[in-house]
């Protein structure tokens, strides 16, 4: 087993940190999936990306965001996780903070394909939402039935 950390930073500040207790060697695959997404993932999306890449397991994977976290470890997180969040290369699983595989990706690398230049695709960092489908007019519905 190998420990791994993938952190996303903006202007030197950590905004997302993915901590894996196993399969740390898959950190590069996680970074690539995040870059392909072209937006900064939410903590839950980052968790799913890590699991899909085989980075960590449900027993050891923890994702921290600036204001929240997501994990299925069944345990309460040690205060070291939050206290060391701003240290993108620090592994909070261990007192000495080491990990075998560490990757830090800058927001600018993720959003370079995003034409707005904002982390979530819109000014202010708000995620774009798909519009709700509009109901068909009676005339259009009648035409489609024929």
Average pLDDT over residues 85-92: 96
Give the integer Cα–Cα distance in Å for 109 and 58: 28
Q: Could you read off the pLDDT of 7-18 as tens digits, one per residue?
A: 999 988 999 999
Q: Are 61 and 47 contacting, i.e. CB atoms less than 8 angstroms apart? A: yes
Q: Could you read off the pLDDT of 27-80 as tens digits, one per residue?
A: 999 999 999 888 899 999 999 999 999 999 999 999 999 999 999 988 899 999
Range of the domain at 62: 4-127
Q: Is residue 135 part of a domain?
A: no
Band of residue 1 on the pLDDT scale cut at 50, 70, 90: low
Helix (H) or strand (E) holding 6: strand 4-10
Q: What pLDDT was estimated at residue 125?
A: 42
Q: Rounded to two decimals, what is the model's pTM?
A: 0.76
Give the integer Cα–Cα distance in Å for 70 and 63: 5
Helix (H) or strand (E) holding 47: helix 43-53
Q: Is residue 138 part of a domain?
A: no
By three-state DSSP, how is residue 81 classified? helix
Q: Is residue 134 part of a domain?
A: no
State how many domains the chain has.
Answer: 1
């Amino acid at each position: 087993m190998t420990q791994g950390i993938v952190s996303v930073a903006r202007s030197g500040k950590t905004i997302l940190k993915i901590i894996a207790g196993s399969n740390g060697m898959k950190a590069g695959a996680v970074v690539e999936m995040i870059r392909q997404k072209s937006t900064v993932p939410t903590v839950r999306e980052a968790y799913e990306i890590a699991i899909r890449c085989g980075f960590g397991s449900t027993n050891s994977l923890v994702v921290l965001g600036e204001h929240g976290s997501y994990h299925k470890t069944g345990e309460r997180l040690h205060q070291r996780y939050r206290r060391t969040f701003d240290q993108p290369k620090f592994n909070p699983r261990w007192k000495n903070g080491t990990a075998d595989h560490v990757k830090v990706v800058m927001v600018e690398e993720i959003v370079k394909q995003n034409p707005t230049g904002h982390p979530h695709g819109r000014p202010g960092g708000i995620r774009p939402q798909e519009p709700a489908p509009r109901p068909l007019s009676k005339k259009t519905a009648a035409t489609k039935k024929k």
